[in-house]
Structure 1
Amino acid sequence: MEFFLIAFIVFADQISKYGAIRYLKNRRPYVVLENFLQLNYVENRGAAFGILEHKRLFFIIITLAIIIFLSFYMIKNYNNLSIFTRISFSILIAGAAGNLIDRIRLGYVVDFISFRLKGYYNFPVFNIADTFIVISTILVVIIILFDKIEA
């Protein structure tokens, strides 16, 4: 089941990025909800908030290490991990893989979702892979806080 979840998320991420390149690149942002949500093509050559810009090889190595480590950990401890833990790790792997594909293929990560809280905060532009990385991180924190990693 986890393999299909990973494959589905990576597929959805890559299709959405293809759409962003095709329909948003070199165009004005598409406003979905005024002063709240817009689709805006951005080429992110760093990490969150554009930090460590132009460190492509570093991100490729770190991302591959995380994907390999989590994959082996899940395989080795599969029967000892709760479904909640397996899903958390799977969506982290999927998000990391989605952005890794961009870094290898394009040299940057395609971001296109832009949220704003009018007058308060502009979130960094992100993508579907980023969303799953954040969700998985929150889930892993919950697992750790409640000591639910069985293996």
Structure 2
Amino acid sequence: MATKKSTFSASSKARSSLTPWLGIAAIVILLDQITKITIERLFVYGEERVVTSFFNLVLAYNRGAAFSFLSNESGWQRYFFTAIGVIAVVFIITQLRKNAGQRMFCWAMALIMGGAIGNVIDRLAYGHVIDFLDFHFGSLGHFPAFNIADSAIFIGAVLFIYDELRRVNKN
């Protein structure tokens, strides 16, 4: 009987330690999908609206990965990048369980996971990722359009790198 109680206690503890990080990922997914749905309803493909001298909103579709990598392929990349996203989410969940006490690491993983799921949803629903944030800097031209999911992945990656550098410097 004591074994069942300790097993239940351990699994309950693991679930509760995952809850805040899954919540952060869910917020990223929600914000990402709401913004994409809004842009899809307000814009036609390729339409661009100037917001500032360095920022536009634009409706763009990306069939590839970051910077439109492999976007001109025949369609296999949709399944390839979807699989990578799903594998990444499974890996991140295992890392969150193992490292639940490392707050910055878990923030990074939760942001990356939320962004990955947001883009996987697009690939499954539309066959492409919806991008709409368009920054440009004078003669440097336009940065490739991106979305909230991409932003969360980027911020998560920066936090991850910072956390790792901080950890290495402690040793």
Answering whether residue 136 of structure 2 is matched by residue 116 of structure 1, we say yes
Asked if the contact 2:45–2:60 (Cα under 8 Å) also holds between the matched residues in 1, the reply is no
With the length of structure 2 as denominator, give the TM-score of the two structures. Answer: 0.80
1:3 to 8, 12, 22: 22
Q: Percent identity over the alignment? A: 32
Higher relative contact order (CA 8 A, sep 6+): 1
Could you tell me which residue of structure 1 aligns to residue 63 of structure 2?
45
1:51-70 to structure 2, matched below 5 A, reads 51-53=69-71, 54=75, 55-70=77-92
The reply to whether residue 127 of structure 1 matches residue 147 of structure 2 is: yes
In the alignment, the residues of structure 1 paired with residue 44 and residue 84 of structure 2 have an alpha-carbon distance, to the nearest angstrom, of 28
The one-letter code of the counterpart of 2:34 is I
Q: Which amino acid aligns with 1:95?
A: G
Structure 1 CA distance for aligned equivalents of residues 68 and 21 of structure 2: 30
Bigger-Rg structure (1/2): 2
Contact residue 24 and residue 30 of structure 1 kept, 8 A: no
When residues 28 and 77 of structure 1 are mapped into structure 2, their CA distance, relative to the original with a 3 A threshold, is closer
**How far apart, in 2, do the equivalents of 1:76 and 1:37 lie?**
40
Q: Residues 38-92 of structure 1, C-alpha deviation per residue, up to 9 Å, x if partnerless?
A: 00000100011111123111101111000001112212332xx311111111001
User: Counterpart of 1:15 in 2: which secondary structure?
Assistant: helix
Gaps of 5+ in 1: none
Give TM-score scaled by structure 1 length: 0.90
What secondary structure is seen at the aligned counterpart in 2 of 1:113? strand
Gaps of 5+ in 2: 1-19
Offset of residue 25 of structure 1: 2.1
